[in-house]
Structure 1
Amino acid sequence: MIIVSNTTPLSELAKIDCLDVLQILFPRILIPPSVYTELTTGNHPAAIAIPAATWIETQEVSQPERIEQFLQTPGLDRGECAAIALAEELNADRLLMDERAGRR
């Protein structure tokens, strides 16, 4: 099963020390580098939890122009657009995202 995630689902679960819930549901989650950067920058609990979570893997989007296309959608930032592009590219089974614009 291919699961791609955006920043918020991972950061919010890291904040309440429940990131392991996702590991139980999905033994492997892929994130684009921009999402990894968002998660590991600053003083947030995810900055420590994400690098330690070996089951969360970073993967490049092979068609970065898709990210630029998605950036034209109001309400989406680079991380969200990269997660959508990666999920499409890999034909992911699930995309974990909280933004309504991204889910559409």
Structure 2
Amino acid sequence: MIIVSNTTPLSELAKIDRLDLLSSLFTKILIPPTVHAELTTGNHPASLLIPKATWIEIRPLQQTERIEQLLKTPGLDRGECAAIALAEEVQADRLLMDERAGRNLAQTLGLPIIGTIGILLLAREQRIISNVSPLLNGLIDQGTWISPAFYQ
């Protein structure tokens, strides 16, 4: 199963030191160069972990003009557009994205979506982890907002 990821979910999983869940759940994890650059510059939470995650493949887009087309959508940044374009290009089984504007566009384009919390739930469903609550608490402790209704 091929998944293409945007920056935020990788960052969130890195904050709780659970990037490994992706390699347990999916056979191929792809990110566009734009996402890699966002993850590895400055004091980004994932900047130390991403280079060690050799199972994450940086995949350049063949049709970079698609990013420019997608950038016309209000509320999207270059990383989100690159992830959506790459997911389309490789016909990914899932697009890993948390941002609402990106998810809405991806749904419009017919791309199957999963978010950070969806990854945690899938990992529990497949018995990779036994309990989601400590990981959700870890995300909250790191400043991630999770809807109280969703948390229940």
Please confirm whether the aligned pair reaches a TM-score higher than 0.5, indicating the same fold.
Answer: yes
What is the Cα deviation at residue 22 of structure 1?
A: 1.6
Change (3 A) 1:46 1:16: same
What is the Cα deviation at residue 43 of structure 1?
A: 1.4
Q: Give CA deviations for 1:16-62 in whole Å, capped at 9, x if unaligned.
A: 11111222112320000000000001112310100100110000111
What letter is aligned with 1:80? Answer: E
Match of residue 72 from structure 2: 72
Contact 2:2 2:27 in 1 (8 A): no
Distance in 2, matches of 1:3 and 1:66, equals 19
Match of residue 35 from structure 1: 35
Q: Give CA deviations for 1:36-90 in whole Å, capped at 9, x if unaligned.
A: 0000011123101001001100001111110000000111100000000000011
Q: What is the correspondence of 1:77-92 to structure 2 with a 5 Å cutoff?
A: 77-92=77-92
Q: Which has the higher contact order (CA 8 A, sep 6+)?
A: 1
Identity %: 77
Distance in 2, matches of 1:72 and 1:7, equals 19
Distance in 2, matches of 1:36 and 1:82, equals 11
Aligned residues: 104
- Runs of at least 5 residues in structure 1 that lack an aligned partner in the other structure: none
What letter is aligned with 1:64? Answer: T
Match of residue 61 from structure 2: 61
Distance in 2, matches of 1:76 and 1:30, equals 19
- Runs of at least 5 residues in structure 2 that lack an aligned partner in the other structure: 105-152
Contact 1:15 1:44 in 2 (8 A): no
- Any idea what SS the aligned residue of 2:62 has? coil
Q: Could you tell me the TM-score, scaled by structure 2's length? A: 0.66
What letter is aligned with 1:2? Answer: I
1:16 equivalenced with 2:16 (yes/no): yes
